[in-house]
Structure 1
Amino acid sequence: MSIDPIDLHLLGESLRIARPDRAWLVAAVLACALVGAWGIVARRRALRELAGTERLAAKLGGGVSVGRMIAKAALGSLGLLALSLALLRPQLGEKADVAHRRGIDLVVAVDASRSMLARDVLPSRIERAKLELQTLIDRLQGDRVGLVTFAGDAFVQCPLTTDYGAAKLFLRAIDPEAMPSQGTALAEALRTAGSMFRAADRGAASKVVLLLTDGEDHQGEAQAAAEALANDGVRIFALGIGSDQGTPVPILDSRGKIVGYRKDHQGNTVMSKLDDGQLRALAAATKGTYVAAAGADLGMGELVAALHKLERSELDAVSGFQYGEAFSYLALPGFLFLVAGALLRERGRDE
């Protein structure tokens, strides 16, 4: 069974145990040392009981020095302990690994309103969008990606980063049922994305908002927000998810099963349909691209091809942390202890 590395702090230094699954070796060495110590004590006690006096016990022991015996056992035990600790792969220090990459800044704005629970795209609009976005993130090379989640309001789900694993974790956490306010605030989503670009260090030459939504807008002002992005050199690539005919919005229980459909104040079933006209207008205002979700990848391949044509600039990004291996600090002393223990004679004098 694989065990994750353990991060510790020792005297102000970062310490990582890369192979904690080998800790049983340390326990085995300590157990053997205790057994050996008990054996020395038991042997000495038996000689004293047999001889009756210390002088006679020393003679019966064949000139073996108790002190040397203890020292020899201690050196051997310390050597084995140090080697077993080295096998845990201790790593010291923490150094930022700065990678120089070329890419674009991409903010993905994901519609998380309840209309995205509609199932005209299987398994649902939101789940299919998340699945295709994970594939998109896997195909990025050096680009910074961020996430904005929106419904009745918008917020930053993940800041711009090159840590694609973290971005996918935040993406999987998106849940329409967890949104604090319902609705579809396209303008607020675009403004939030714009603020992420402005706050980024060393912004890329190409900035893109990838907007995934069914296009329904309950608050207006989306066109003005798009024009503000265009003034900042940001393009909108819009992916419209849903059908023109419309589909009912399901109500789900705690297990994700449909228990009914949402209704309006008059008791009519709410039908959610794609508003591609507005999405086309938003993309056109920023010289971007609109793609209607279709095909096995919902048209994501077409968007990726368009992204790859954009100008790329050099970005500095912290891609991770690098630890220095420290096993040699334990392995060398351990070896020396073993050699010293092997060379040490138990007899205090030649017989």
Structure 2
Amino acid sequence: MIWENSSYLWFLLLLPVLYALYYWFRLQQRKKREKLFDDRLINQLRKNFWSTGDKVRMFSILAALLFFIIALAGPKIGTEVREIQRSGLNIMVALDLSRSMNAEDVRPSRLDKAKFEVNRLVNRLAGDRIGLIVFSGEAYVQAPITTDYSALRLFLDVANTDQMPVPGSNFQSAMERAIEVFDSVERQNASNVLLFIGDGENHGPDYDETLDQLTERGVTVFTVGIGTTEGGPIPIYDEQGRMTGYHRDRQSNTVTTRLEENTMRRIANSGGGEFYAIRSGSDNIEPFFARLDELERGEFSSQEYADYENRYQILLMIGLILFVIGLFFPDHLNRNSDN
């Protein structure tokens, strides 16, 4: 037996206190009667009083309180064995953290919008495993693939462009990290999905061969392009979060970053997935959620656990019966007096 709210059991200590108060009250009443009346008159006045009934009423009330307190504590008795099966997809999110993701042609910024959409994705998951790769000139596994969505949100929240030691965008490195992650997990007939999020600007080596390796492993690659074709400058902020200017090239010209939609679309087509464009703050990746529902989900784990059944209802019913007895049980009997 276990208790849901065992702290309520401390109220059981009140029962002997209540009984002691009752006993003291009866004793005081008897002493007052003895001072005012003699025994013969007391017996005559209390001729129909039934002391046994009075005791039954008292002990019924105390017993009712006993059962009420125990029911309030929530006793759980016995076990019910349940089997839980966890199934879902293997999803890796590759998020571009190059400084061009700070551009604000998509409000509030490309990166903030990307993180918002990934959070929406996490909120929709139920049993799927998800991980996070961040990349710029190099790629790193920010969060290993997991079903701990709270941890994933934490890693996503702290991701920013300042943490990346190498500038630029290296798509090949991000895809290589994805291959490593998918090779390290047991697939168990679950579909593997890579969600590639960025503005499409690649400054690394050719990634076609690496992309082919992903598809050969059965990974479906979806891409999300964030930005506009008109593009925008890349703001620079100081430590206090105040904008101090824009990034400039060696000729002191303001750098304009644009969405390379064709690049992101080609990656999705080669990876067997779809391309989604986010060109404004109101755009979203809702169609991607629908595609996930079409993919095959595998069984990750099967777990049996014992669950105790709550039995407070029985105790509560017994307590109610005893309480009614305590209220209505007679403590007087009609006795015919001899004439």
SS in 2 for 1:313: coil
- Once the two structures are TM-superposed, the CA of residue 333 in structure 1 deviates from its matched residue by 2.9
Within 2, Cα distance between the matches of 1:194 and 1:121? 30
Larger RCO (CA within 8 A; separation ≥ 6): 2
Residue 128 (structure 2) pairs with residue 144 (structure 1): yes
Instruction: Supply the AA of the counterpart residue of 2:94.
Output: A
- Aligned residue identity for 1:238: T
Q: Is the CA contact (8 Å cut-off) linking 1:236 and 1:282 kept in structure 2?
A: yes
2:73 partner SS? helix
Alignment of 1:253-332 (within 5 A): 258-261=242-245, 263=247, 268=252, 271-276=256-261, 278-280=263-265, 282-283=267-268, 285-294=270-279, 298=283, 300=285, 303=288, 312-317=295-300, 324=307, 326-327=309-310, 329-332=311-314
Q: Helix, strand or coil for the counterpart of 1:76?
A: helix
Residues 58-97 of structure 1 aligned to structure 2 (within 5 Å): 64=51, 71-86=59-74, 95-97=82-84
In structure 2, C-alpha distance between the alignment counterparts of 1:301 and 1:203, rounded to whole Å: 27
Q: Which amino acid aligns with 2:299?
A: D
> Does residue 122 of structure 1 match 2:107?
yes
Aligned residue in 1 for 2:175:
190
Q: Tell me the equivalent position of 1:248.
A: 234
Rounded to whole Å, the distance in 1 between the matches of 2:274 and 2:90 is 16
1:40 aligns with 2:29: no
1:239 to 221, 224, 229: 224
C-alpha RMSD of matched pairs (Å):
5.1
Pair member with larger Rg? 2
Contact 1:105 1:203 in 2 (8 A): no
- Deviation, 1:239, is 1.8
1:199 to 184, 201, 211: 184
Deviation at 1:234, TM superposition (A): 2.0
After superposition, the Cα gap between the structure-2 partners of 1:169 and 1:96, relative to the gap in structure 1 and judged at 3 Å, is farther
AA aligned opposite 1:336: I
Describe the SS at the equivalent of 1:109.
strand
Contact between 1:29 and 1:80, CA under 8 Å: does it hold in 2? no
TM-score under structure 1 length normalisation = 0.65
Structure 1: which 5+ runs fail to align? 1-9
Query: What SS does the corresponding residue of 2:186 show, helix, strand or coil?
Result: coil
Partner of 1:213: 198
Change (3 A) 1:236 1:49: same
How far apart in 2 are the matches of 1:307 and 1:333?
48
Deviation per residue, 1:106-151 (Å, 9 max, x gap): 32222244432321101211222233345556667x8835231303
Equivalence map 1:18-29=2 (5 Å) = none
Q: Aligned pairs, how many?
A: 319
CA distance 1:150–1:82, shift in 2 (3 Å): same
The equivalent residue for 1:154 is: 140
Residue 233 of structure 2 aligns to which amino acid in structure 1? T
Preserved contact between residue 93 and residue 195 of structure 2 (Cα < 8 Å): yes
2:111 match: secondary structure? helix
Contact 1:112 1:150 in 2 (8 A): yes
User: Distance between the aligned counterparts of 2:25 and 2:190, measured in 1?
Assistant: 79
Letter in 2 for 1:118: A
CA positional deviation for 1:213: 0.8
Q: Can you list the C-alpha shifts for 1:137-178, whole angstroms capped at 9, x where unaligned?
A: 6667x88352313035421536254x8x65884586353168
Deviations 1:77-96 (A, max 9, x none): 1122133334x999976844
